[in-house]
């Protein structure tokens, strides 16, 4: 997706509207772990929607480390996925699955309240078919992170012109004035709980 494909191209406009990191595609909530409880007002998509889109990452998928260019962090990503850049972000994609990584300067750590009041409205305004999920603080190996989940349409397929409804998970990590956002997206119904956990638990700050 993603991001995108890039199934994430749509997120770019969305995340740019946020004061923290950005997502370059309208990637939706995440996989089975996305349990949205509220509905947003994203504009309806003018494109037909793909049905029964397969997005499960196979159990045999290998992961490789991706070190940030400025040497501030490392995170593992699926081996063999296409790598592109979208502004300041690096995006790894495979069909409608995507991982978007972006680093921004931020004076203070993100909070659930800020994500709900400021970031969600920005994401909703830049996405099509937006449906809000949960906003909460979660713990990963690198420490606490703010998790925003939602659903939205992917960028149109270059061949068919159709879009896929995606589940998106946006993780915001912060340390010493630097925020790194990992935005993971896959077609709704994909069972990527374990792969997404592997990616987010692999994130580590460099000393």
Q: How deeply is 36 buried, as exposed, middle or buried, from its count of CB atoms within 10 A (0-12, 13-18, 19+)? A: middle
Q: Where are the domains of the chain?
A: 9-205
Residue 34 pLDDT greater than 80, yes or no: no
pLDDT at 86: 86
Task: Look at residues 6, 196, 16, 191 and name the one whose alpha carbon lies nearest to residue 102.
Answer: 16
The predicted model gives 83-96 an average pLDDT of 92
Q: pTM, whole model, 2 decimals?
A: 0.77
Per-residue pLDDT reduced to its tens digit, 148-199: 999 999 888 888 888 899 999 999 999 999 999 999 999 999 999 999 999 9
Fold (CATH) for 9-205: Protein Transport Mog1p; Chain A (3.40.1000)
CB 138 within 8 A of CB 30: no
Residue 11 pLDDT greater than 60, yes or no: no
Q: Could you give the CA distance from residue 75 to residue 116 in angstroms, rounded to a whole number?
A: 26
The predicted model gives 123-128 an average pLDDT of 91
Place of tokens 């400025």: 70
The predicted model gives 97-110 an average pLDDT of 96
Q: Strand, coil or helix: what is 116? A: helix
Cβ neighbours, 10 Å, residue 60: 5
- Dihedral class, residue 72 (left if φ above 0, else alpha if ψ from -120 to 50, else beta): alpha
pLDDT at 44: 60
First to last CA, the chain: 32
- The residue ranges of DSSP E strands in the chain, in sequence order, are 63-67, 73-78, 82-86, 89-94, 97-105, 131-140, 143-153, 165-175, 178-187, 204-205
Helices (H), 25-150: 112-114, 120-126
Residue 24 pLDDT greater than 90, yes or no: no
Q: How deeply is 146 buried, as exposed, middle or buried, from its count of CB atoms within 10 A (0-12, 13-18, 19+)? A: buried
Read off the pLDDT band of 6 (50, 70, 90).
Answer: very low
Q: Take residue 8 and report the two structure tokens written for it.
A: 């994430």
């Amino acid at each position: 997706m993603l991001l995108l494909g890039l199934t994430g191209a749509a997120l770019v406009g969305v995340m740019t509207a946020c004061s923290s990191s950005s997502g370059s595609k309208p990637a939706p909530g995440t996989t089975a772990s996305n349990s949205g409880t509220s509905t947003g007002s994203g504009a309806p998509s003018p494109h037909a929607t793909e049905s029964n889109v397969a997005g499960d990452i196979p159990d045999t998928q290998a992961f490789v480390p991706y070190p940030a260019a400025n040497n501030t962090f490392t995170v593992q990503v699926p081996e063999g996925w296409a790598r592109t850049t979208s502004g300041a972000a690096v995006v790894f994609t495979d069909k409608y699955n995507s991982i978007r990584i972006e680093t921004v300067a931020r004076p203070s750590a993100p909070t659930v309240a800020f994500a709900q009041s400021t970031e969600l409205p920005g994401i909703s305004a830049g996405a099509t078919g937006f449906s809000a999920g949960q906003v909460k603080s979660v713990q990963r190996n690198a420490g606490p992170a703010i998790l925003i989940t939602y659903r939205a349409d992917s960028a149109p397929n270059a061949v068919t012109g159709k879009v896929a409804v995606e589940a998106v998970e946006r993780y915001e990590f912060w340390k010493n004035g630097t925020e790194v956002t990992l935005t993971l997206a896959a077609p709704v119904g994909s069972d990527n709980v374990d792969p997404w956990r592997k990616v987010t638990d692999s994130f580590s700050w460099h000393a």
